[in-house]
Amino acid sequence: MVSELGPLDAKTSGCILALPLKSSATSGKKGNHGKVVGLVLGIIGGVAALVVAALLFVVLCRKRKKRKHAEASHEEFVSSFKSAVLPNSGAKWFQSGELEKATNGFSQRNFLGKGAYGVVYKGVLSDGSFIAVKEMHDPESLRDEEFSNEVEIISKIRHRNLLSLRGCCVTSDIFRGRRRSNGSLGDHLASDHTRRQLTWPHRKNIILDVAKGLAYLHHGIKPAIYHRDIKANNILLDKEMKAKVADFGLAKQSSEGQSHLTTRVAGTHGYLAPEYALYGQLTEKSDVYSFGVVILEVISGRKVIDTSSASYLLITDWAWMLLKSGKMEEIYDEAIRDEGAKGVMERFVLVGMLCAHAMVAFRPTIADALKMLEGDIDIPKLPDRPLPLSHESFRQPAKASSHSGSSSVSERS
């Protein structure tokens, strides 16, 4: 088909395709309209981009200002720490590069454990000595306070069963140098395989080491120091399986002439003494309670809180029920039942139960507990314990009483 207007004319295309097509004039109007719409959209997009850029600029400025403020605050802390704390602590000042080199850049292969306030890595210094480095990761508001407190507390400690401070380092992230080579007691109790490697002599000596360390804190220095977080994960073991009490970030010094401190509750569930957990009353007997829980944990290999049942069961309540039922041997970990003298193992369980008694008055001092463990003094008869909350009597509805006093009360009500 031929058209005198040529093949490019709209009429030609419409004839060939048999489709109604708009005229070129209409197409032209549409094109102009599209250009206007595009121009408007372009202007709107440009304005939006400028607004977004402005917002980003404001956010970045605020972040930069906040970062400068944080850096200034941190530098102020470092300066005051070096002048006030470090000279009195006797600790070496490490550069962050030294600790990075010692831990292979804080490699996961050097990972030892994780606590409430940081991650611990093993390391080797240039002189060949072994250390453990704790990298703080808690919120900024707690970092400086916890760090300074622990450095000051540990700097006053000189005892073979307490972890000593080798040095410290303060950078944008705070690191603390420590000796640690064989993990924590918690690490060894965490799995069946490692727990079975803990023989009865190991467990016995670990308990005695912890008792000696605590006795020094409570009675060997003045003013006394209350640890507040005695637990398996804070008991470190060296290559000879000697135990050292560690992590003094929550420790408090006692006040002269006061029988107890009233303070914010801190520590780990299952290890906290009732009077401390409920009322914040902290005494040396609070640490004794936690120590008693550790004794039962070490001897039984059992978790401090059993969450497998519908109701939580504390290790102290579990051990007491077996003890009252005449099933003392079931408290011992199967891995050690045939290893130690039954009389000695029983003595350790009884001391653990006495130390972890719910009533403060019935707990011994740590010095007396140590003497009981070593057989130097007799263990008093265990006083009864309050019923555990998991006891069936708390789950059953109270029955009506026929007692006359009850009847009169009902009548008055």
Q: List the catalytic residues.
A: 229
Cis amide linkage into residue 223, ω under 30° from 0: yes
* 108, HSE (Cβ side, Cα atoms, 13 Å): 0
Angle in degrees, CA 376, 270, 232, rounded to 5: 60
Radius of gyration of the chain (CA): 35
**CB 203 within 8 Å of CB 210:** no
Angle in degrees, CA 116, 152, 157, rounded to 5: 95
3-class secondary-structure state, position 305: strand
CA distance 185 to 241: 9
> What would the two tokens of residue 366 be?
């740590």
Q: Say if residue 280 is exposed, middle or buried (CB neighbours under 10 Å; 0-12, 13-18, 19+).
A: middle
Which candidate, 352, 413, 407, places its Cα nearest to that of 385?
352
The full DSSP string for 145-172 is: HHHHHHHHHHHT---TTBPPEEEEEESS
**CB 354 within 8 Å of CB 379:** yes
CA distance 222 to 368: 19
C-alpha dihedral (110, 115, 119, 125), degrees to nearest 10: -60
CA distance 6 to 11: 9
Q: Do the annotations mark residue 134 as ligand-binding?
A: yes
Extract the annotated binding site for ATP: 134
Extract the annotated binding site: 134
